[in-house]
Structure 1
């Protein structure tokens, strides 16, 4: 049985993400957890004619039941970004939510794959890892920051100015992190089309700050929930294809703990960081191999340097939060 748990299933990302996951034949049990409304979402999705069982779990008292036996836990829980907010602003609210969920995962499903969507990912992934370290159950191959939306946006935005670039079949490597200047799309490695320096500059900025477009367009009513749900489902499906079906050669960009993952030594030395988003080959145990950074243009090297500077602070903030703030008992 493959049980996938969505924590925050009644939210703006959680509902469409759960809908997309219900369509997967890789999932036999889809468990939906939230502090409210998860039962209604589960009842609704349970009417869809795919084989997976759907259960709803509401409130902290139901969290243990939701997580028990989980193969994969996807965490989109938290508050959305509003106009004028940065991902860093979200930290004050979402850090505690993610920390408490990580505590519960470490206790009730310590061997599960943990996929973190809750922003700011640059800090929330270190929170999850530190919680698992404290519990003595940390496996760096199994904790992922879902940065797939940056990859999806990259292909989409390139297609907008170069229609001959097919966005669904051509994947663009994105390295660094998952906020603003920490997002570095490696446009120099695209072989199908060429760009002017002006096009590269404009594309890079749009990819880095694409989330702001959605926040502004929704005018206070939310952030990038639908595209994030799509990206989250894509990464979850890739991981399940590799871990359940044993499919080889699946590569996704993802924000991970470098130390302890095969192939990550070069990236750790070159960045000086514990966490970094990079292309990863997925396998039965999660991370099978971290691919080395591709050749970078001079402009991309400069952007990576800026990203590293920001990521150091983001990572420290997540680690320090686990040290300084006691966890809730779940």
Structure 2
């Protein structure tokens, strides 16, 4: 194939990203991990499924970065996953070091790539990746809002017994407990859910969305979500590779938009071949802006901690 996606981290999220990308025939995939044999084994397994799944994408597993050269997209999933009782913020010390290292290695070999960050705590890891890669900010984007909005969309479809294809939702802010679902911008075939569901039901769905990752962690007990995060990252990759100009909620570096500066936070973004090509600013109510300010403050706290750790 003419295009290449590198996926760093061959755990559940990374391997599923490779699977989703290959089965969509978006590009050939290079799967990187430090564990000897694991990316090679998973890559071979996925290749052996290709005759059944009817795609010709090649998935190559490796323990070094030379095979990643000239990638169009770099998806970073490396890092430890959450365990029950652990917040995304608890991961920061370990994952900052991992993300710093892998982004430097990948960026050296693919200087024109767009990076999609999946590692948690997401917004903070975007700051680490931006500094480590040396890329312009529009080419370092965080996968958060697509996942959070997908969860919200499923809950809406479930509550109304309608197709998920009819639902649209927006979730802004940091990828954590302070995220900001926006019910008045969330619709079913164009109809705001505020016209279809009682306020208490909507509030409960918003809360469940914010706790979506923790709910899955508590059920799995030994890991965290990976199917939906992988699908969300690959949707972003597809929009970029195909220059679709698709508007998706993503964590991007803001310079004045929404009143924030030098901060990664989730907002609606137009994705194309250049990465985050435009931030879409929507008018927020006073309550929505206050909630977004609270979320931004939480991200700032993590960025401050990164500074104290030397990142």
Answer yes or no: same fold by TM over 0.5: yes
Q: Which residue does 2:303 correspond to in 1? A: 315
5 Å-filtered alignment, 1:120-131, equals 120-131=121-132
Aligned with residue 258 of structure 1, among 231, 254, 261 = 254
Q: Which residue does 2:283 correspond to in 1? A: 295
Q: Which residue does 2:186 correspond to in 1? A: 190
Q: Which residue does 2:60 correspond to in 1? A: 55
Shift in Å, 1:235: 1.9
Q: Which residue does 1:180 correspond to in 2? A: 177
TM-score in terms of structure 1 length? 0.85
Q: Which residue does 2:242 correspond to in 1? A: 241
In 1: Cα distance, 2:155 partner to 2:215 partner: 12
Structure 2 residues without counterparts, runs of 5 or longer: none
Mapped contact 1:130–1:319 kept (Cα < 8 A): no
Runs of 4+ in 1 over 4 A off after TM superposition: none
For residues 273 and 307 of structure 1, do their structure 2 counterparts lie closer, same or farther at Cα, with a shift above 3 Å needed?
farther
5 Å-filtered alignment, 1:79-94, equals 79-94=80-95
Shift in Å, 1:106: 2.7
Q: Report Cα offsets for 1:175-224 as digits up to 9, x if no partner.
A: 1111111x111111234232333123212211111111101111x22111
In 1: Cα distance, 2:154 partner to 2:250 partner: 18
SS at match of 1:84: coil
Shift in Å, 1:297: 4.0
Aligned with residue 154 of structure 2, among 146, 153, 156 = 156
Shift in Å, 1:30: 0.9
Q: Report Cα offsets for 1:247-294 as digits up to 9, x if no partner.
A: 34x1111101123xxxxx432xx23552221111112211221100x2
Mapped contact 1:175–1:185 kept (Cα < 8 A): yes
Mapped contact 1:175–1:184 kept (Cα < 8 A): yes
Q: Which residue does 1:25 correspond to in 2? A: 25
Shift in Å, 1:8: 0.5
SS at match of 2:242: helix
Shift in Å, 1:169: 4.2
In 2: Cα distance, 1:320 partner to 1:281 partner: 33
Q: Which residue does 2:101 correspond to in 1? A: 100
SS at match of 1:227: helix
For residues 146 and 295 of structure 1, do their structure 2 counterparts lie closer, same or farther at Cα, with a shift above 3 Å needed?
same
Structure 1 residues without counterparts, runs of 5 or longer: 260-264, 326-330
Task: Let me know the Cα RMSD of the aligned residues.
Answer: 1.8
Mapped contact 2:249–2:266 kept (Cα < 8 A): yes
TM-score in terms of structure 2 length? 0.90
5 Å-filtered alignment, 1:222-241, equals 222-241=223-242
